[in-house]
Amino acid sequence: MEPVADTERRHSIASLDSSIRKLEKALTSVQQNVASTTVVSKRLQALKIGLAALQIRWENQGYPY
């Protein structure tokens, strides 16, 4: 992995956190539509995994799963 500037790291992690929060809110609002719920929940899971991978690599945090 190429070196990444600290500002880019912070912005990337903040962006993923923001996207996760928005998808969590969207998930609660689309509970009636099963197809939308499936798509939103899969995207949410993918973002959480991506965030965890970056935090492990950049911040030496443990894997939460």
Q: What is the pLDDT along the chain (65 residues), one digit of tens a residue?
A: 678 899 999 999 999 999 999 999 988 888 777 777 888 899 999 999 999 988 888 887 766 65
* pLDDT of res. 3: 82
Predicted TM-score (pTM) of this structure = 0.78
Per-residue tokens: 1: 């992995």
* pLDDT of res. 1: 63
Degrees, nearest 5: CA angle 23-24-27:
80
Per-residue tokens: 19: 């996207």
